[in-house]
Amino acid sequence: MKLRWMLVAVGLAVAMTAVAALSMRSSVGVDPAATGAPEGAGCPVKAHPANLAFTLKDMYGRDVKLSDYRGKVVLLNFWATWCGPCQEEIPGFVDLQARYKKRGFEVLGVSVSDASDDLPPFARRFNINYPLLVGQDHDDLMETYGATVAIPVTVLIARNGTICDRHMGLMDLEQVEREIKALL
């Protein structure tokens, strides 16, 4: 009985993610021509500042301040170990982290429902090369970044701390790479 309800919940979450991705695509895209931003700016004129005043524990229990990443282009990904689309995105994020880290890019994975003990084995299994943060019991952070309806949710933050884009659902890695390059 419990397994059936879990399957129903996962199916509902996948359906909600698909609907959200189609209907709630953030209005803060990085197409300068469409937003009136100067060519090469990579972030729309009307983009708003990210709230970086959060400290989370990483998977080893160390404090990580989001404000410490100001000056870098940050891909902030809200996910969970049980989320199929989240798992599908991870190899692409690993690749992006490896290719662009030296240019000032950082992926931060915020696990929305996993305990810190669950993350190291998962990170080893997926060869994750970026920090995994424990977002469990941080509903304020999820609300701030719009990760309350469904996951995955990915937020792209410019060097100056401005939210340039928000994606709900499975990422188009080619698109996010173009967005990252525009901000680097």
**Any idea what the CATH number is for the domain that residue 27 is in?**
3.40.30.10
User: For residue 105, is pLDDT > 50?
Assistant: yes
Give the predicted TM-score (pTM) of the model: 0.77
Tell me which residue range forms the domain holding 139. 2-183
pLDDT score recorded for residue 12: 42
Nearest to 16 by CA among 121, 138, 147, 145: 147
User: Is the pLDDT assigned to residue 14 strictly greater than 60?
Assistant: no
Three-state SS at 20: helix
Higher pLDDT, 149 or 14: 149
pLDDT greater than 90 at residue 74: yes
Residues 6+ apart with CB under 8 A from 71: 104, 159
Number of structural domains (the chain) is 1
User: Residue 133: pLDDT above 80?
Assistant: yes
